[in-house]
């Protein structure tokens, strides 16, 4: 290994190691600075750190490619003493976080000019970014747990940026309660993994998992706990109510939440799934609840009049699909989904004016039902033919193949009326392009994950098929027969998300009222004591 290569390896790892610390130091410095011109310097430094992180992550990605090609870079050996785990998953996530973090800071710098919350936004945003990067970079499960909690606590300060917005405060405290449940679930998963393998370090765990037979109760229990942690973080039914109510937060906060934080439940599964022996009870839980959430959220999204609420339900549905894919063992598809959703949601919120315009355009008079069904059926049939010829595109998984075919068909169901033949053919070609685009992304991203998808168990196949059949049937009914009496009745209930959020929301509100009453009683006793 040449001296230049050694320098590149150590410099890149040094940036990864120092970046979370630098962001935390910068956050503390921002809090102490009162002068606006000095705070402006913090914004520029933050953007520079994000650019440096992106460059270092790209270099580490190049070193991983060189390693795969047989060039001895010494990257794993240099990273291990530093507590870092530079694999393909970490590189893709680091590139995503660095890019979105830089764009977000640049946008918020102008968006919050003159805003009363500007001085409080930057330090807590930096803490969120530092915690996410620490979660992605580290190879130690306890550090992952601390970073996981740190992300949630820092985000809570951003969601409560405006104390006068009562609904936003209420939603933030609901999220706080749900997040603590997720923290406890992740803590249980980490301790159970340690109980089974006897280590907290990821390289040791992966080596032990390869030699392990997977016997015992600890790993199945850990998979269930990890699934519960992911469901809490990803706002899945019935823990999703807070997500619909935090839309009063500033646009940069919403973009950070929807694009960079809410998907961490998927990341933690993509990081730890090699520790489990095939498909576990946790996988079945993700299929069942993630699939149910996707169905309810998609149908609720179709009934929303508010663009903001439609975006929130869209995030809920996309996270449900991502966890559904993880439950089926389609880890590469889940990573593609995570990256694409983050970029899409960041654009949707940061270009919110265009999003509103696009939503209005999408409400143009749709084409006749028969024409849309014909186009969707033809496109879906052609996509199915491609997948039958090359089943490796979906890892020989029939449920995933059906999901991709449905995505192609669904792209044409919203076709508006009045389009000419050329425009209709263009739309059909764009829908069909989803298949080769997915194949390209699959080939590009699949080396980031250490294991291929497991064969589907009968229970997984049955659950997955049931979810897809229910989704297709209900979505077609809502889209093509919106005025049918039965559909119209159900639309009313789906507009409220089938009220699935109410039990937990009322329980949290009751606890908050009890806490507030207790605080007031203590204050009253204190005041009386002072007067006496």
Q: Does position 296 have pLDDT exceeding 50, yes or no?
A: yes
CB 342 within 8 A of CB 390: no
Q: Does position 164 have pLDDT exceeding 90, yes or no?
A: no
Record the tokens describing residue 206, joined without a space.
């992966």
Query: Would you list the domain boundaries of the chain?
Result: 1-131, 140-363, 364-499, 502-532
Average pLDDT of the residues in 210-217: 76
* pLDDT for residue 532: 47
Contacts of 288 (CB under 8 A, 6+ apart): 327, 463
3-state secondary structure 124-136: HHHHHHHHHHHHH
More confident: 140 or 7: 140
Q: Is 140 helix (H, G, I), strand (E, B) or coil?
A: strand
Average pLDDT of the residues in 113-119: 82
In whole angstroms, give the CA distance from residue 511 to residue 516: 9
User: For residue range 457-487, what is the model confidence (pLDDT) as tens digits?
Assistant: 677 777 777 777 777 677 667 666 666 676 6
More confident: 336 or 383: 336
Nearest to 17 by CA among 68, 78, 63: 78
User: For residue range 314-352, what is the model confidence (pLDDT) as tens digits?
Assistant: 888 889 989 988 988 888 888 888 998 898 888 888 876
The label of the residue with tokens 């050694």 reads: 6
- Any idea of the CA torsion for 487, 489, 492, 496, to the nearest 10 degrees? -80
Average pLDDT of the residues in 238-243: 82
In b/e form, how buried is each residue of 135-158, taking b as 16+ CB within 10 angstroms?
A: bbbbbbbebbbebbbbbbbbbebb
Mean pLDDT of the chain: 80
Share of the chain above pLDDT 90, in %: 30
Other C-beta atoms within 10 Å of 282: how many?
26
How would residue 58 be classed by pLDDT, with cut points 50, 70 and 90? very high
166-180, 237-251, 359-373, 478-492, range with the lowest pLDDT: 359-373
Q: Is 113 helix (H, G, I), strand (E, B) or coil?
A: coil
More confident: 381 or 296: 296
CB 183 within 8 A of CB 149: yes
CB 36 within 8 A of CB 118: no
* pLDDT for residue 187: 97
More confident: 355 or 166: 166
In b/e form, how buried is each residue of 323-348, taking b as 16+ CB within 10 angstroms?
A: bbbbbbbbbbbbbbbbbebbeebbeb
In b/e form, how buried is each residue of 409-432, taking b as 16+ CB within 10 angstroms?
A: bbbbbbbeeeeeeeeeeebbeebb
134-143, 174-183, 487-496, range with the lowest pLDDT: 487-496
* pLDDT for residue 527: 42
Distances (CA, A) of 448 to 54, 88, 273, 335, 383: 17, 4, 13, 9, 26
How would residue 365 be classed by pLDDT, with cut points 50, 70 and 90? very low
More confident: 451 or 499: 499
User: For residue range 275-284, what is the model confidence (pLDDT) as tens digits?
Assistant: 987 778 999 9
Beta strands in 320-383 (DSSP E): none
Angle among Cα 219, 220, 223 to the nearest 5 degrees reads 85
Q: Does position 400 have pLDDT exceeding 60, yes or no?
A: yes
Average pLDDT of the residues in 478-503: 67
How would residue 367 be classed by pLDDT, with cut points 50, 70 and 90? very low
15-19, 33-37, 95-99, 117-121, range with the lowest pLDDT: 33-37
* pLDDT for residue 31: 80
């Amino acid at each position: 290994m040449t001296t230049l290569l050694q320098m590149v390896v150590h410099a890149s790892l040094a940036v990864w190691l120092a970046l979370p610390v630098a962001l935390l130091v910068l956050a503390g410095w921002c809090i102490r600075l009162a002068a606006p011109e000095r705070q402006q310097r913090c914004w520029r430094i933050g953007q520079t750190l994000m650019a440096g992180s992106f460059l270092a992550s790209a270099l580490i990605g190049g070193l991983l490619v060189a390693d795969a090609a047989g060039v001895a870079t010494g990257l794993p050996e240099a990273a291990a003493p530093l507590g870092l785990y530079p694999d393909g998953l970490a590189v893709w996530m680091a590139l995503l976080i660095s890019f979105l973090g830089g764009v977000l800071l640049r946008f918020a710098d102008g968006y919050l000019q003159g805003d009363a919350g500007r001085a409080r936004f930057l330090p807590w945003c930096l803490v969120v970014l530092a915690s996410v990067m620490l979660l992605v970079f580290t190879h130690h499960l306890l550090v992952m747990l601390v970073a996981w909690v740190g992300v949630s606590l820092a985000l809570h300060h951003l969601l409560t940026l405006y104390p006068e917005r009562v609904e936003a405060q209420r939603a933030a405290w609901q999220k706080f309660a749900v997040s603590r449940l997720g923290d406890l679930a992740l803590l249980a998963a980490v301790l159970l993994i340690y109980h089974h393998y006897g280590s907290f370090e990821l390289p040791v765990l992966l080596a032990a998992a390869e030699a392990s037979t997977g016997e015992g109760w600890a790993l199945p229990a850990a998979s269930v706990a990890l699934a519960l942690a992911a469901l809490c973080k990803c706002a899945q039914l019935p823990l999703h109510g807070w997500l619909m109510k935090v839309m009063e937060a500033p646009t940069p906060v919403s973009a950070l939440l929807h694009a960079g934080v809410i998907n961490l439940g998927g990341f933690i599964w993509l990081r730890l799934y090699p520790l489990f022996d095939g498909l576990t009870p946790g996988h079945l839980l993700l299929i069942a609840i993630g699939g149910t959430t996707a169905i309810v959220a998609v149908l609720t999204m179709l009934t929303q009049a508010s663009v903001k609420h439609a975006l929130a339900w869209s995030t809920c549905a996309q996270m449900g699909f991502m966890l559904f894919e993880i439950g089926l063992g389609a880890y590469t598809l889940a990573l593609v989904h995570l990256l694409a959703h983050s970029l899409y949601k960041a654009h949707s919120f940061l270009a919110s004016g265009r999003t509103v315009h696009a939503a209005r355009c999408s409400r143009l008079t749709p084409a006749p039902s028969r024409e849309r069904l014909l186009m969707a059926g033809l496109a879906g049939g052609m996509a199915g033919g491609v997948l039958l010829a090359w089943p490796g595109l979906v890892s020989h998984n029939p449920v995933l193949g059906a999901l991709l075919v449905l995505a192609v068909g669904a792209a044409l169901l919203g076709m508006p009326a009045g389009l000419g033949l050329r425009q209709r053919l263009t739309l059909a070609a764009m829908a069909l392009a989803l298949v080769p685009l997915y194949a390209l992304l699959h080939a590009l991203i699949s080396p980031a994950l250490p294991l291929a998808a497991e064969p589907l168990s009968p229970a997984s196949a049955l659950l997955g098929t049931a979810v897809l059949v229910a989704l297709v049937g209900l979505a077609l009914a809502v889209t093509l027969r919106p005025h049918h009496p039965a559909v119209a009745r159900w639309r009313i209930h789906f507009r409220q998300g089938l009220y699935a959020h109410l039990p937990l929301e009322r329980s949290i509100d009751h606890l908050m009222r009890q806490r507030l009453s207790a605080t007031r009683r203590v204050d009253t006793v204190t005041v009386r004591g002072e007067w006496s």
